[in-house]
Structure 1
Amino acid sequence: MGTLTLGLAGAGRIGAMHAANIASLRHKSLDVRLLITDVAAEHGRAVAASAGAGFLPDLRAMFGAGLDGLVIATGTATHPDLIRAGVDAGIPVFVEKPVAASVAGALPVLEFIRDRGGVVQVGHQRRFDTGYLEAKRQFEAGELGWLHSFRAVTADMAPPPVGFLATSGGLFRDCSVHDFDVLRWLTGREITEVYARGSNNGDPAIGAVGDVDTALALVTLDDGTLGTVAATRYNGAGHDVRLELQGSRSSVMVGLDDRLAMRSAESGVVFPAGPPHAAFAERFDAAYRAEMLAFVELILGERENPCPPEDAVAASRVADAAQLSLETGAPVKVEG
């Protein structure tokens, strides 16, 4: 059995999760070896030790160790340079969304990747969730008929630190971009217009840094189908991520299970019976694991790229339009 070596840049919350998932990853034909680097060396060494991985002081040392693939889980501002470094090293790259802090900043990166024939997979984990995959299968098989409407929800149980929100780019770019991506991926349609509104009834500090704690966007697809994309930081019932697809023949909901963060007001109804999810990492645990296995399969040439950077930038364009609509109070066309 051979060995495949992955490098992980960034050992923060997402990086530590990826490290644990890579450590437990099983592939039919090889073992996976993990090396980690982080500017916070002491913390990085602790994450590496917990994952049974090696720790190296910087990216240069990591490339010198002979990587087969690079996983980027650092801050957004570092993504473009690290993507370029991985592509220049001639290895496939996995990067957490987004490709860059803005669409304008991402376009030169896309050109760089194309010019050098690079392989870059972006982390949109909902594409690997079994519920979203089944909804996509039903839609593509014609079981739903034609869509007359859709409703997407991303609701955090509690907001992250205000310091993070100050640099996140806004609720639509941080949270709803996942909904925009999965809608494009699932329906095969482009989002052409968004009309957004937002509110702040929670911590005033969120508004003070220019963000909102709750937002709703009316979304139009290129065939005229209408739907809504909602997000909030204050869903005290639990972490709630859902997608309703309502069609001319049938309807389906992703996230309708015993851990749904919702309770019925009808007499005698006990569903859902289980405890709600507390956070996104728990809700999408299996999807994150499947995503990393897919990256290994991409490195080995066993599958097509499940989330190319062009798709991620297209979703970011929609998030930018939603953010602009939120700021101006007017509908905004999504630029192609």
Structure 2
Amino acid sequence: MKIGLIGTGRIGAFHAATLHDLEGVTDLVVADADAARAASLAASLGVRAAPGIAEMYAEGLDGVVITAATSAHAALIHQALDAGVPVFCEKPVALDVPGTLGVVERAAAGSVPVQIGFQRRFDAGYRAARRALRSGELGWLHTLRACTSDRTPPPAAYIPTSGGLFRDCSIHDFDILRWLTGREVVSVFAQGANRGASFFADGDDVDTCAALLRFDDDTLATVTATRYNGAGHDVRLEVCGSKDARFVGLDDRAPLPSAEPELSWRRSAAPYATFMERFQDAYVTELGVFAEVAAGRAPNPCPPADALEALYVAEACDRSRRTGQPVAVADLRTAAGNGGTAPGT
């Protein structure tokens, strides 16, 4: 299987190394707007760098992985579909609803799969919590508590193109809550704050946020995120039911210094520092599944329509934190001309 990879920055280099070692991938070709960076990555892995994206497709790819700048995602997905090549694209599909809708509609009308990268769906802890909930072991669900906390903030130059904290970070929580519960978010109330560097406010963003979500079965969820979690990179989910509960991310490397005098569990001296450390195994599994999807041996586990639903929730949260008012997610969907309810509801 010949796979192309577009975008050789941090996550691109990480995915390229995974693809290089992936069973069934016999040829890997990388490309980047920065040709020198692509050549350097190719040399480090012993693979080839294409002089451009068009030249890459001319070789006849079996699949393409898009890890370029967010602003280029939608155009690159359309280009891959024009070439008839199965696509894996890191989230988000696009920074806005119209751009995402364009990809959703194009993908739905075609026969080539487009898989969006929400790696938490492939994390062992989240999958175990989902099985426990869906089996009825937890009883009926009443509360979900999710957090995504970066250890250190990104560079200032990243913020104006990131889409904001809800779209960039919390969107992972919005997606995994939908995937885990099988329910839709109907309303949100969100707040944001800036206690850190001024470049967040300068970029019309916040460095910390919190949102209250109500689902269509009246389950409540809190979602928090921050760019300044000094203890380490903290991503967890508490799934609380009437009979039992599950806690995702509560492992030895979770950055949870206890205030209690005694601990009953072992705590690593090296807590997670980055999202790539926290989800390394999930990323590898995710790309392995994409190889199966591209080969026609597995169904698409995360189509663009799912990414659109998570984006609607993120958009609603951003509107709520700006207005100080609750926001119905259906209002965002209606404004986009996509009806008032999520697909299948």
Q: State the Cα deviation string for residues 18-57 of structure 1 (Å, max 9, x = none).
A: 101111112xxx3431000111111111111122211011
Match of 2:16 in 1: 19
Residue of structure 1 in register with 2:126 after alignment: 132
Q: Distance in 2 between matches of 1:286 and 1:95?
A: 18
| Kept in 1: contact 2:103–2:304 (CA 8 A) | no
1: CA distance between counterparts of 2:191 and 2:311? 18
1:162 to 156, 159, 163: 156
Q: 2:83 matched to which residue of 1?
A: 89
Does residue 295 of structure 1 match 2:290?
yes
The yes-or-no answer on 1:98 pairing with 2:92 is yes
* Paired AA for residue 140 in structure 2: W
Q: What is aligned with 1:280?
A: 275
Please tell me whether the aligned partners of residues 148 and 247 of structure 1 are also in contact (alpha carbons under 8 angstroms).
yes
| 1:334 maps to amino acid | V
| Secondary structure of 1:301's aligned partner | coil
Q: Find the counterpart in structure 2 of residue 5 from structure 1.
A: 2
Alignment of 1:1-336 (within 5 A): 4-26=1-23, 30-269=24-263, 271-274=265-268, 275-335=270-330, 336=341
Deviation at 1:188, TM superposition (A): 0.2
Q: What SS class does the counterpart of residue 314 from structure 1 fall into?
A: helix
Q: Deviations over 1:293-317 (max 9, x none)?
A: 0000101222111111100111011
> How many percent of aligned residue pairs carry the same amino acid?
50
Gap change, CA 1:16 and 1:31, over 3 Å in 2: closer
Please state whether the residue corresponding to 2:212 is helix, strand or coil: strand
- Aligned-partner Cα distance in 2 for 1:325–1:215: 11
d(CA) in 2 for partners of 1:80, 1:198: 28
1:166 counterpart SS class? helix
Contact 2:107 2:304 in 1 (8 A): no
Aligned positions, number = 330
Q: Is the 8 A contact 1:22 1:32 kept in 2?
A: no
Secondary structure class of the residue paired with 1:50? helix
Counterpart-to-counterpart distance in 1, 2:35 and 2:73: 19
Q: Tell me if structure 2 keeps the 8 A contact 1:149–1:247.
A: yes
Please give the alpha-carbon distance, in whole angstroms, between the structure 2 residues aligned to 1:32 and 1:134: 32
Displacement of 1:209: 1.3
Please tell me whether the aligned partners of residues 262 and 272 of structure 1 are also in contact (alpha carbons under 8 angstroms). Answer: no
Query: By how many angstroms is 1:87 displaced?
Result: 1.1
Contact conserved, 1:239 with 1:280, CA < 8 A, in 2? yes
Q: How many Å apart are 1:13 and its aligned residue?
A: 1.0
Alpha-carbon distance in structure 1 between the residues aligned to 2:306 and 2:109: 18
Once residues 167 and 300 of structure 1 are traced to their aligned partners in structure 2, the CA distance between those partners, rounded to angstroms, is 34
Q: Tell me by how many angstroms 1:115 deviates.
A: 2.2
Q: TM-score, normalised by structure 1?
A: 0.96
Q: Does the 8 Å contact 2:19/2:25 carry over to 1?
A: no
Q: Deviations over 1:175-234 (max 9, x none)?
A: 000000000001000011110011111112211211111100001101111110000000
CA distance in structure 2 between the aligned counterparts of 1:192 and 1:85, rounded to whole angstroms: 34
Query: How far has the Cα of 1:85 moved from its partner?
Result: 1.3
RMSD: 1.1
Greater than 3 Å deviation, 4+ residue runs: none
Q: CA separation of 1:31/1:178 partners in 2, compared to 1, >3 Å: closer, same or farther?
A: closer
How far apart, in 1, do the equivalents of 2:177 and 2:77 lie?
A: 26
Change (3 A) 1:270 1:46: farther
Secondary structure, counterpart of 1:91 in structure 2: coil
